[in-house]
Amino acid sequence: MPKLIPKRLGADQDRSHAVLQKPEILAPAGDWECARAAVENGADAIFFGLDRFNARMRGKNFTEADLPDLMAYLHGRGVRGYVTFNTLVFSNELADAESFLRSIIRSGVDAAIVQDVGICQLIRKISSDFPIHASTQMSVTSEAGVHFAEELGSSVVVLARECSLKEVHAIKEKTLNKGLDMPLEIFVHGALCVAYSGQCLTSESLGGRSANRGECAQACRLPYGLYSDGEPVDLGDRRYLLSPQDLAGLDAMDEIIDAGVASLKIEGRLKAPEYVAAVTSVYRKALDDAWTRRHGEAAHTPAPYRQAEGRYALEMTFSRGLSTGWLGGIDNQKLVHARFGKKRGLRLGVIDRIERDGIWLRLEHPLKAGDGVVIDRGRPDEHEEGGRITSVDTNVDESFIRFFQGSINWKRVEPGQVVYKTSDPALDKSLRQSFEVEQPNYKRPIHASVSGRVGAPLSLTLRDDEGHIAQAQSEPELQAARNKPLDEAMLRKQLGRLGGSAFYLGDLDIDLAGDCMLPVSALNQLRRNAVDLLMAHRAEPLRWQMNPAPQITIGEPAAVGKASSPYLIPYVRNAEQFAVALELPYDEIYLELEDPRKYAAAVAQARGAEEADGRTRQIWVAPPRMFKSGEDFLIKQLLNCGADGFLARNHEHLTALADYRMRGDFSLNVANHLSAAYFIERWGLERLTASYDLNTAQLDALLSHSPAGSFEITLHQHMPMFHMEHCVFCAFLSEGKDFRDCGRPCDSHQVQLKDRVGALHPLKADAGCRNTLFNSKAQTGAEYIESMTAQGAGAYRIEFLNETGEEVRRTMQHYADLLAGEISAEHLWKELKLINQLGVTRGTLER
C-alpha cells in the first residue's frame, strides 16, 4: 500500500482527473488488543491516541512508552500508525506539547492527526518532513479548506462527515484543477456526530467538558422534547431528536472509489476489539471485492466477500441502526429515527403474544439459543427487559422464544413491543479467534525477483508495497541443470513457503541465463535470509528530520504594552434588534441574519441612519458558519451587500472575502498565540475572537502572549451548542427530506428543544439550512472583565439571540456602565437576571 502524499501537478500534466489509487483501510485502536484486531483483519493503517492531547480522553489510550514496541509491531506487519493529536492546545500548554511532539516524531510514527492550527505550525518548526494529517476537527468542507490545510503542511485532509460523495468528488476535481492532488480521507463507518466536528460546544456549554479537548459528554444521545411556538409537539416515541444512526458506507463502495477517496476511516477508538475486528474485516473484503470488479486486480483475502454476513457482523458488534449518513446527500427523514440513542443490534420482530416464560413473534432474522435480546418498550432511557434465550421453536412462520426462568419481569412486557438481538456469542468467539493467533492471520504480498547464471550465486530480491527492499545471494553457485532446471513452478513453490511470516508471494520475476539448478535446501536458506533481512528493514523506525533547538520555552515572558481601551460591540440577529442597535452610540455593529439576501437592505438602512444623524457606523456581517462546495451563491450575496467588513468563520471566507476587512470569529478555534499569529499574519485578519473552549485562566495565557488589541472576547451570549447539517425543522415538522420539499417550517415557527432538566434551548436555522441549538441561559463574563482588560483585550462582544429591542437597549447600557466603572460586576449580574427570564450563568469562562 503506497504512502499517502500530496502531489503538485506541473503545468503540462493533465489536471482533469487523477489516476485512481486503491484507498487504505484505516482502523481505530484504543489499546493493544484493538491494534491486533485491526492488523489481523486487514487494516492498512491504524489511528490511536496517547494519554494527552487526543479527542478520546475517555478511552484507555496508549502511552509514550508504548510507541517503540507498537510501531515496530505495526511496521513489521506492513501497517502504518497515526497518532491523534486532535485537540485544541492552550498557550500555557505549548511547551509541554512540543516535548510530547518530539517524543512522537522520534518514535517513528507515520503521521499525526492534528486539529489545532498552532500545533501544525509548531510541528513544522520542529520537523520539516514529519507528516501532518488535517483532522476532521478542522471542519474542512470545501476546496478552500483543502488548500488551507496544505499551506499548514498537511499531507492528508480528513473531510467533515457532512460532505456527500458528490461534494467529495467536486472538492477533488476543483483542487486538481488548481494543480493539487491531495489525498482525501473520509469516515466510512461508525458513530456519527450530529454536529460538525470541531464546532460542537454542547459539552463545554452544559458542563465545562470540551469536545475540542477530548471530553465529549455525548449530549446528542439524550432524549429531547420538541416545542414549536411555545407548545409541545407530539412525536410519539421519537424523543432522540439529535441522535443519528451509525454510519455505514458499505453500499457506497463503488461511489467512494470513483470520488477519488484515498483513505477509508473507521470510527471507534472507544469500542471493543471484536468491533474493530468485525468492521475492519468487512470493509477490507468489501473494498478488495469492489476494486477487483472495477480494475481486475486479484485480491488476496482469507475468505470471499459475502455482503449479508458482513452486514450481520456490523449490526451485531455495534449499531444504533445503520445508514449512509450524508454520503448520499441530505435526507433528514432517514438520518435520525429518534427512537433510541444507544446500541440496539439487529431487529428481530414485534411481539405477537406472551406465554409463560417466552414470547411469540415472526422472526425477521435467525436466532439461536445463547443469543442475547432486548425488548424495546419505547423508553430506552429506563431499565429494559431482556437477556439470554434458552430455546427457539418455530411453528410454520412463527417462533417461540424462551428465556431463562426469572430473567424477565413479564409485567413490563406487552404485545407490540419490538425485540432486538444484541449479542451473538458465536460471532464474538469467531471474531476473537481472528486476532488471538500465534501466526499472522492477515498476510500482505512481497514481490520477488531472481537472477543468475551458471557459476554464479542465485540472487533473490524481495520488495514489499511499503518500499522496503532486501537482497540475498545463495552460498553455493548455480550449476548446470541435468534434468530438473529451476523454473517458475519450482521457484514459486519454494519461495512461496513463507510459513509463519506475515507475507504471501505476489509477483515473481525470473532472469536466469540457461538451465540452472540449486539444491532445495540452499534455495530455502536463501529465502529465509532474504525474508529475515526484509523484516529487519521493516522494523527500523522511521527517521524524520528534527530541529534540535527548542521552539517554545517554558516561562516565556508576557508580551509588553498591554494597555488597551476595549470597547463594546453589539451583535444582533433580527430587524428589531438591528434597529435599536442603530439608535445606540456604538460605532460598530455585528449583524447575523438567517436570510443573507436581507444584508443589502440592512446596510442601506444603516447608511440612511448615518445621513439622518451624521454619525458613522461600521456594519460587520457574520456569514453562515459553514460553507460547502457548491454554495457560491451565499458568497455572492455577501460581496454585493455593501458591508464594511466580515467575520471570517471558515476557510472559504478567508479566501473569497480576502479583499475586504475581516475579523476571525470563534469558529476558527483560536486557542493559542501560534494560531493567532498565523491567522493575523497570513490571512490579514484585523482581530480574532477567542475560542469558546477557553476559561478565564486560559484566556489570560492567550492574551498575555499576544499583542494588545489582537483579540475580542464574547462577554455576553447564549452559547451556540450543536451546529448541525441535520435539520430538526425538516425532520420533525415536515415530511420532506431537505430544503426542496420541507416547506421551510423554520420560516414560520419558533422552535425549542427541551432537555432532561426542563431547559428550553432555542433552535435556529441558517441560510444553508444548518441548525444551531443555543443554550437557554445567557452567559456573562462580567466578573472577569478587569483581568481581561489588563491583559489587552481589544473589544467585548455582546451577543443577542431572541431578545426584544428593549432588552438589547437595557443590556448594552448595563455593560457600558460596567466598562466605565459606574456599576460593579455583581450589580450587573443582578440586572441581567432581571432582564433574562431564563436566567444567566458564568458559563465556560468560569475558572
Q: Following DSSP, what letter does each residue of 244-273 receive, concatenated? A: PPEEE-GGGHHHHHHTT--EEEEP-TTS-H
Band of residue 833 on the pLDDT scale cut at 50, 70, 90: confident
Do 302 and 441 meet the contact criterion of CB atoms below 8 Å apart? yes
Separation CA 113–CA 29 (nearest Å): 14
Q: What is the model's pLDDT at position 303?
A: 61
Coil vs helix vs strand at 807: helix
Locate 703 and state its grid cell: 492574551
Separation CA 49–CA 55 (nearest Å): 8
Residue-wise pLDDT for 511-522, tens only, equals 999 999 999 999
Looking at domain 567-720+776-845, which CATH architecture does it have? Alpha-Beta Barrel (3.20)
The answer, yes or no, to whether residue 269 has pLDDT greater than 70, is: yes
Separation CA 16–CA 13 (nearest Å): 9
How far out from the chain centre does Cα 330 lie? 18
Q: What is the model's pLDDT at position 556?
A: 55
* Strand ranges for 528-671 from DSSP E: 567-572, 588-591, 618-621, 645-648, 661-664
The answer, yes or no, to whether residue 807 has pLDDT greater than 60, is: yes
Q: What is the model's pLDDT at position 555?
A: 58
Domain segments of the chain as ranges: 20-192+245-323, 345-435, 444-539, 567-720+776-845
Do 122 and 105 meet the contact criterion of CB atoms below 8 Å apart? no
Locate 78 and state its grid cell: 506492513
Enumerate the β-bridge partners of residue 469.
463
Separation CA 225–CA 238 (nearest Å): 9
Coil vs helix vs strand at 556: coil
Burial class from Cβ neighbours inside 10 Å (0-12, 13-18, 19+) for residue 95 reads middle
Pairwise pLDDT comparison (827 vs 75), residue with the higher score: 75
Enumerate the β-bridge partners of residue 27.
46
Separation CA 509–CA 447 (nearest Å): 8
Averaged pLDDT for residues 301-326 = 86
Q: What is the model's pLDDT at position 541?
A: 87
Averaged pLDDT for residues 769-773 = 96
Locate 251 and state its grid cell: 453500499
Averaged pLDDT for residues 351-380 = 93
For residue 226, give Cα distances in angstroms to 62, 741, 769.
41, 21, 18
Coil vs helix vs strand at 37: helix
Residues of the chain with pLDDT > 90, as a percent, come to 82
Separation CA 693–CA 118 (nearest Å): 15
Q: Following DSSP, what letter does each residue of 379-447 receive, concatenated? A: -TTS---EEEEEEEEEETTEEEEEE-TTSS-GGG--TT-EEEEEE-HHHHHHHHHHHS-SS-SS-EEEE
For residue 375, give Cα distances in angstroms to 356, 379, 598, 707.
16, 10, 52, 60
The answer, yes or no, to whether residue 625 has pLDDT greater than 80, is: yes
Angle of helix 32-40 relative to helix 273-295, nearest 10 degrees, comes to 20
Band of residue 210 on the pLDDT scale cut at 50, 70, 90: confident
Q: Tell me how far apart the terminal alpha carbons of the chain are, to the nearest angstrom.
A: 48
Looking at domain 345-435, which CATH architecture does it have? Beta Barrel (2.40)
* Count of residues making up the chain: 847
Separation CA 203–CA 800 (nearest Å): 21
Q: What is the model's pLDDT at position 447?
A: 96
Enter the DSSP assignment of 195. B
Q: What is the CATH number of domain 20-192+245-323?
A: 3.20.20.70
Averaged pLDDT for residues 428-432 = 96
Enter the DSSP assignment of 30. S
Residue 273 backbone phi and psi in degrees, to 5: -60, -30
Q: What is the model's pLDDT at position 832?
A: 80
Averaged pLDDT for residues 207-213 = 77
Can you give the pTM of this predicted structure? 0.94
Band of residue 426 on the pLDDT scale cut at 50, 70, 90: very high
Within 396-447, residue ranges assigned H as helices are: 425-435
The answer, yes or no, to whether residue 480 has pLDDT greater than 80, is: yes
Averaged pLDDT for residues 543-554 = 89
CB under 8 Å, gap of 24 or more: what pairs does 231-240 form? 232/754, 233/732, 233/733, 235/338, 235/732, 237/339, 237/378, 238/337, 238/338, 238/339, 238/732, 239/338, 239/339, 240/336, 240/338, 240/339, 240/340, 240/341, 240/380
Pairwise pLDDT comparison (736 vs 209), residue with the higher score: 736
Band of residue 838 on the pLDDT scale cut at 50, 70, 90: low
The CB density around residue 166, as the number of other CB atoms within 10 Å, is 15
Within 208-328, residue ranges assigned H as helices are: 253-258, 273-295, 307-317
Band of residue 797 on the pLDDT scale cut at 50, 70, 90: very high
Q: What is the model's pLDDT at position 22?
A: 94
For residue 308, give Cα distances in angstroms to 246, 312, 327, 369.
18, 6, 21, 21
Separation CA 609–CA 596 (nearest Å): 21
Separation CA 174–CA 406 (nearest Å): 63
Buried b vs exposed e over 635-670: b needs ≥16 C-beta within 10 Å? bebbeebebbbbbbbbbbbbbbbeeeebbbbbbbbb
The answer, yes or no, to whether residue 2 has pLDDT greater than 80, is: no
Averaged pLDDT for residues 600-612 = 96
Band of residue 101 on the pLDDT scale cut at 50, 70, 90: very high
134 contact partners, CB below 8 Å, separation of at least 6: 114, 120, 140, 149, 152, 154, 156, 157, 158
The mean of the pLDDT values for the chain is: 92
Q: Which of 15, 90, 53, 14 is nearest to 695 (CA)?
A: 90
Band of residue 6 on the pLDDT scale cut at 50, 70, 90: confident
Do 570 and 812 meet the contact criterion of CB atoms below 8 Å apart? yes
Q: What is the model's pLDDT at position 57?
A: 55
Separation CA 68–CA 181 (nearest Å): 32
Q: Which of 742, 682, 745, 687 is nearest to 569 (CA)?
A: 687
Pairwise pLDDT comparison (206 vs 668), residue with the higher score: 668
Locate 560 and state its grid cell: 509588553
Q: Which of 346, 168, 160 is nearest to 724 (CA)?
A: 160
Averaged pLDDT for residues 85-91 = 93
Residue-wise pLDDT for 44-75, tens only, equals 999 999 988 875 656 677 899 999 999 999 99
Same fold, 20-192+245-323 and 567-720+776-845: yes
For residue 557, give Cα distances in angstroms to 92, 100, 696, 706, 790.
12, 22, 19, 11, 16
Averaged pLDDT for residues 777-782 = 90
Locate 335 and state its grid cell: 438520518
Band of residue 825 on the pLDDT scale cut at 50, 70, 90: confident
- For residue 364, the surrounding DSSP H or E stretch is none
To which residue does cell 413479564 refer?
Answer: 410
Band of residue 831 on the pLDDT scale cut at 50, 70, 90: confident
Do 675 and 653 meet the contact criterion of CB atoms below 8 Å apart? no
Q: What is the model's pLDDT at position 393?
A: 94
Q: What is the model's pLDDT at position 302?
A: 53
- For residue 492, the surrounding DSSP H or E stretch is helix 488-495
For residue 590, give Cα distances in angstroms to 520, 581, 606.
82, 10, 12
Q: What is the model's pLDDT at position 124?
A: 97
Locate 639 and state its grid cell: 460581496
Locate 613 and state its grid cell: 444623524
Q: What is the model's pLDDT at position 327?
A: 97
Count of alpha carbons within 13 Å of 445, Cβ hemisphere only?
12
Locate 3 and state its grid cell: 504512502
Separation CA 356–CA 391 (nearest Å): 14
Averaged pLDDT for residues 292-314 = 76
Pairwise pLDDT comparison (844 vs 248), residue with the higher score: 248
